[in-house]
Structure 1
Amino acid sequence: MRRPLIGALSALLLGGAGLATAGVTPAAAAPDTAEAKAKVKAVDFAGTVALSNCSGSVVRMPNSADSDLAFVMSNGHCLESGMPSAGQVIVDKASTRSFTLLNSSGSGVATLRATKIAYATMTDTDVSLYQLSSTYAQIQQSYGIKALQLSDSHPVQGTGINVVSGYWKKIYSCNIDGFVYRLKEDEWTWKDSVRYTSACNTIGGTSGSPVVDSASGKVVAINNTGNEDGGRCTLNNPCEVDANGTVTVRQGINYAQETYGITKCVAAGNKINLSLAGCELPKP
């Protein structure tokens, strides 16, 4: 998986990624067309956050109200308590974790604080949703920053996307190459995962980055892993498994987990309700 940074620093040094990029905003890959340029320019860091070891974003559901307590979304494997086991689901667990809120240029403008982990798991998907002590309206009024909106539709193959890392203050631009029936990594299995084209060569610390549709500006997935060494279904080396059980290894290719299903599990008031019709998130 795109490891939390504590486990990734040595790999970055050995791999030559260079810690000089920390705190700097590298330029995104140059688009090929004027239309693509306009789309890339529309995506920035506003609403993303930096965790102590990962990336994330302030997100809202299609039915969220300005008066609702806001969510921060990151990966399940970025939890302060460590990675959940396969089959483990966490709901309504107290947390005081803090997040650095970024503006459009990637500068930190505030520290947001959680009151609880509303939902987290590494089963079927890899997500954590922290509920904050601030509402969407309070965040916008105080800092001029709107939350990113989760799309409630399945992403589409070929879509132009931007993976926005609040930790590294870097935007990766590529396309959705396709979808993976099952993505296996060590003890975890994820369903219907997003596979990037090779331009999104995400690294440790980008875990939890929102994957933003460059046309709509909505979040369609959450960055979580990549095959680093060509290993087969091992830690940091996920493998693809199709419906017939055939295993494919794609060294250097990175992946994300779709987020539209989360919107089916949040009731009015930003309340997680795993019993809602259409909700398929794993239950405790």
Structure 2
Amino acid sequence: MNKPLLTALATLVITGAGAAPAAATDRAAPAGGTAAARAVTFAGAVSLSNCSGSVIRLPASRDDDPALVMSNGHCLETGFPAAGEVVVDRASSRTFGLLDSAGTRVGTLRANRIAYATMTDTDVALYRLTATYAQIRNAYGIDALTLNDTRPAAGTAVTVVSGYWKRTYSCAVDGFAHRLKEGEWTWKDSIRYTPACDTVGGTSGSPVVDDATGRVVAVNNTGNEDGERCTVNNPCEVDANGAVTVRQGVNYAQQTYRIPACFGLGNKLDLGRSGCALPKP
């Protein structure tokens, strides 16, 4: 995984090994990555204590709905969910540093719940904030990023926006892994990047933005560091026939187009809604 940095120090497993800075703003970003497409900025991205994330809205979200922050399931403050574990509606007071278009931290947002989190089939965490979209816009002049509700195509130009490192990585969707297996976890239909998205520890949870539409199509989460087969930090691809492929140095993201179907009015999670395919507790 593109491990959360502080957790990685404790477990000694981190993508892009090295000590985490005391504060992300006090250190230069790691080498690597390319300039982002002009239309993609840092506005709406957030920094976590150990990961990246973004303020996101669903296509049907309203301005007076409580805002949501998206990151990875493996970025939870409570540690990695086990395979098969799904977290729903759990209290949280986690804070997030909100960035403007230039990558400057302009405010602090606070959660009151973990609306949903898992590392089963996907690797995502969705926090409900104490502020609405309208309150965030009025206070900071920043709009949330919108999740696309359609599946991206191979060849789509994308930008990974890391709020932790305040760095972007631009590349394209190289293809899709039928199954991506890493340690005890398995993810479905993962995005494989072209090589330019050489993401590192701390980029976990970054939104993956379609350069053409400005909408979020995935959440960045992992890469194969050492060429090992299906181990932690070394995911392997498994096709529909069970054949395993290892791609050292290649990085991946989890698609997000299925998320909007699982939320109803008021940005309320409803895993029983028609069309909702997220794993259930």
Shift of 1:18: 9.9
Which aligned pairs between 1:10-29 and structure 2 lie closer than 5 A?
A: 22-23=24-25, 24=28, 29=34
From 219, 229, 233, the counterpart of 1:232:
229
| Amino acid aligned to 1:78 | C
Detail structure 1 runs of 4+ shifted over 4 Å in the superposition.
7-19, 24-28
Write out aligned runs for 1:69-218 (5 A).
69-218=66-215
Evaluate the alpha carbon distance shift between residue 90 and residue 7 of structure 1 in structure 2; reply closer, same or farther with a 3 A threshold.
closer
CA contact (8 A) 2:7 2:50 kept: no
Structure 2: unaligned runs, 5 residues or longer: none
TM-score scaled to structure 2, two decimals? 0.93
Distance in 1 between the 2:61 and 2:89 partners? 18
Shift of 1:6: 1.6
TM-score, normalised to structure 1's length? Answer: 0.92
**1:77 alignment partner, SS class:** helix
Q: In the aligned structure 1, how far is the partner of 2:127 from the partner of 2:236?
A: 29
Distance in 2 (CA, whole Å) between partners of 1:198 and 1:84 is 29
Q: Do structure 1's residue 40 and structure 2's residue 32 form an aligned pair?
A: no
Q: Offset at 1:29?
A: 2.4
Query: Partner of 1:6 in structure 2?
Result: 6
Q: Distance in 2 between matches of 1:12 and 1:225?
A: 10
Asked if the contact 1:8/1:205 (under 8 Å) is kept, the reply is no
Q: Give the whole-Å Cα distance in 2 for the aligned partners of 1:108 and 1:101.
A: 5
Distance in structure 2 (CA, Å) of the matches to 1:149 and 1:213: 11
Matches of 2:32 and 2:240, distance apart in 1: 39
Residue from 242, 245, 250 that aligns with 2:247: 250
Structure 2 vs 1, CA of residues 12 and 182 (structure 1 numbering), >3 Å: closer, same or farther? closer
Letter of the structure 1 residue corresponding to residue 4 of structure 2: P
Q: Deviations over 1:161-206 (max 9, x none)?
A: 0000000000000000000100000000000000000100000000
Alpha carbons 2:158, 2:170 under 8 Å: kept? yes
**1:8 CA displacement:** 4.5
* Number of residue pairs aligned between Structure 1 and Structure 2: 276
Q: Which residue of 2 aligns with 1:259?
A: 256
User: How far is the alpha carbon of 1:52 from its aligned partner?
Assistant: 0.2
Distance 2:79 2:20 in 1: 26
Which residue identity does 1:3 align to in structure 2?
Answer: K
Distance in 2, Cα, partners of 1:212 & 1:15 = 26
Please list the CA deviations of residues 39-80 of structure 1 after superposition, one character each: whole Å capped at 9, or x if unmatched: 801101000000000000000000000000000000000000
Deviations 1:194-237 (A, max 9, x none): 00001000000000000000110000000000000101000000
Rounded to whole Å, the distance in 2 between the matches of 1:11 and 1:191 is 23
Partner of 2:51 in structure 1?
54
Q: In structure 2, how many angstroms separate the alpha carbons of the residues matched to 1:27 and 1:76?
A: 25
Distance 2:32 2:118 in 1: 33
CA contact (8 A) 1:103 1:145 kept: yes
Once the two structures are aligned, what percentage of the paired residues are identical?
64
What RMSD over aligned residues (CA atoms) do the two structures have, in Å?
A: 2.2
- Give the distance between the partners of 1:95 and 1:112, measured in 2 at CA: 12
1:269 aligned counterpart, secondary structure:
helix
Kindly provide the amino acid, as one letter, of the partner of residue 210 in structure 1: P
